[in-house]
Amino acid sequence: MIRTSSLRAQRGLALIVAMVLLLVMTMVAVIAMRSTTLDLKMTANTTQSRRAFQTSDGTRDSVSPILAAHVFYHGWPDAIGGEVTASANFEIPDEITVTDATKRYDMGENGAFEDIATRSRDIEFRDDVDEDGELDNEDVFGDIWVTRIGVQPAFGSNLASNASDQGAGSGAANKYILFDLRAAGRALGNARAFTGSDYRALSR
């Protein structure tokens, strides 16, 4: 009788131990799943942040040739509302939109550096691969602010007045127009990144 009671007690203890171990293993699995989910979210956020940074940097570099052409021709193409005739062969790629082609950036007509925080973007870069208007991992969406910050004489020239270039007293041919470029890149999950650089374009 004593032996039978002892065996029954041991069987009950084994059940309790098994349930405790099962509970511990369940808790470990749940914690591991939550940790994995958190790691995935962090990785996704990091990926989108880096993509936004690359978009910001890339769109700024992409508009540099367009800005150089704007300085060279002293205006924007008439096809987008500017004054440069079609015979000049100055064309803007479909991905790039100049928000106000009536203003000359080389003369600072689009705004001063002090107002950059409240100014609307000057150039948009939209490479919508699916052409659905929705941002996804295949698309590139960036906004650029262009600010004229000064003039620098080119080698062998000076800043004498030249009315045909920018107006009397404002500069000379063969000089560099100095710009501050700020770009905001966008990615999924409301990720945004801002980059900036100085840029100079030769004015002839």
Whole-model pTM?
0.72
User: For residue 9, what pLDDT is reported?
Assistant: 57
Provide the total of helices (H) and of strands (E) in the chain, helices listed first: 1, 5
Of 196 and 135, more confident: 196
What rounded mean pLDDT belongs to the chain?
82
**Per-residue pLDDT tens digits for 29-77:** 888 787 777 777 787 788 888 888 988 998 888 899 999 999 999 999 9
Burial 167-199 (b: 16+ CB within 10 A, else e): eeeebbebbbbebbbbbbbbbeeebbbebeeeb
Given a cut of 80, whether residue 94 has pLDDT beyond it is yes
**Per-residue pLDDT tens digits for 134-172:** 777 777 889 999 999 999 887 766 555 443 444 433 444
Which band of pLDDT confidence, cut at 50, 70 and 90, is reported for residue 3? low
